[in-house]
Amino acid sequence: MAGRRDGLLARSNGSPSRGSRIAMAVAVGVLLGCVCAFLYPDGLFRSFSTLPSHGQDSAADWSLGNSAKCETSERTNVLKSELASLSQKNEDLKKQVMELTTKLKLAEQGKDQAQNQFVALGERRKAGPFGTVKSLRTNPTVVLDESVNPRLAKILEKVAVRKELIVALANSNVKDMLELWFQNIQRVGIPNYLVVALDDEIERFCNSSKVPVYRRNPDEGIDSIGRSGGNHAVSGLKFRILREFLQLGYSVLLSDVDIIYLQNPFDHLYRDSDVESMSDGHNNMTAYGYDDVFDEPSMGWARYAHTMRIWVYNSGFFYIRPTFPSIELLDRVADRLARQKSWDQAVFNEELFFPSHPGYEGLHASKRTMDMYLFMNSKVLFKTVRKDAHLRRLKPVIVHVNYHPEKFARMKAVVDFFVNGKQDALDPFPDGSRY
Going residue by residue from 336 to 365, which x/- string records binding to ligand NAG, judged by CB under 6 A? Answer: ------------------------------
Tell me if 200 contacts ligand NAG by CB under 6 A: yes
Residue 72 or residue 208: which is nearer to ligand NAG going by CB?
208
Within 130-159, the residues that bind ligand NAG by CB under 6 A are: none
Among 199, 203, 244, 256, binds ligand NAG (CB under 6 A): 203
Residue type, 124: R
Tell me if 223 contacts ligand NAG by CB under 6 A: no
Instruction: Classify residue 279 as left (phi > 0), alpha (psi -120 to 50) or beta.
Output: beta
Tell me if 204 contacts ligand NAG by CB under 6 A: yes
333/326 Cα distance (integer angstroms): 11
Residue 205 or residue 313: which is nearer to ligand NAG going by CB?
205
Give the phi and the psi of residue 187 in degrees, each rounded to 5. -60, -40
Among 13, 228, 284, 356, binds ligand NAG (CB under 6 A): 284
Among 50, 207, 356, 423, binds ligand NAG (CB under 6 A): 207
Residue 23 or residue 195: which is nearer to ligand NAG going by CB?
195
317/40 Cα distance (integer angstroms): 83
Per-residue b or e along 217-229, where b marks 16 or more CB atoms closer than 10 Å to that residue's CB: eeeeeebebbeeb
DSSP 364-410: ---EEEPPTTTEEEHHIIIIIGGG-TTGGG---SEEE--S-S-HHHH
Going residue by residue from 290 to 309, which x/- string records binding to ligand NAG, judged by CB under 6 A? Answer: --------------------
Sign of the four-CA dihedral 311, 316, 322, 327: positive
CB of 203 to ligand NAG, least distance (A): 4
CB of 385 to ligand NAG, least distance (A): 12
Residue 321 or residue 379: which is nearer to ligand NAG going by CB?
379
21/199 Cα distance (integer angstroms): 69
Tell me if 244 contacts ligand NAG by CB under 6 A: no
CB of 1 to ligand NAG, least distance (A): 39
- Distance between start and end Cα atoms, the chain: 47
Residue 200 or residue 427: which is nearer to ligand NAG going by CB?
200
CB of 283 to ligand NAG, least distance (A): 6
Contact between residue 236 and residue 337 where contact means Cβ atoms under 8 Å apart: yes
Angle formed at CA 341 by CA 337 and CA 342, multiple of 5 degrees: 70
Binding positions for ligand NAG, rule: CB under 6 A? 200, 203-204, 207, 284
